[in-house]
Structure 1
Amino acid sequence: MTGIDWVGLMQVGLHGLGMQPDAFWRLTPVELRIKLGAQAGAAPLTRARLEDLARAFPDVKRGPKDG
């Protein structure tokens, strides 16, 4: 089982981002991820991506015995 690399996270927060320790420890995990460059959530589904998915996984008509 792997744990959280607190030393590495603190080095990035305190030295890389120039944060004060109290500000670092007040961050939520989501806020820290955002500060480190990660997006808060998945990108929204665009029409182009939906069309790509529809081509890759077309609707298939099922017969009466297919459920």
Structure 2
Amino acid sequence: MSKTIYLVLAIFFFLSFIQSLFDKGATHKLFFWEVDIWLYRLFRLAIAVLFMKSYLDMKKAEKIAEK
């Protein structure tokens, strides 16, 4: 996959995390289960961080390969 896709997905999941902060519900459906809203928010934030880390690692590897 292109490194740009990782950046786009990181931004999408981070915006989804921000949007979930305005959700008034105490639970949210994650896959097939109802989970606590803070667990759902943590999940969204973790996915965003993982995609951003992957993007930055690819960018760093590309920069090292250029040298």
TM-score of the aligned structures, taking structure 2 as reference length: 0.29
Greater fraction helix: 2
Of structures 1 and 2, the larger Rg is shown by 1
Q: Which has the higher contact order (CA 8 A, sep 6+)?
A: 2
Q: TM-score, normalised by structure 1?
A: 0.29
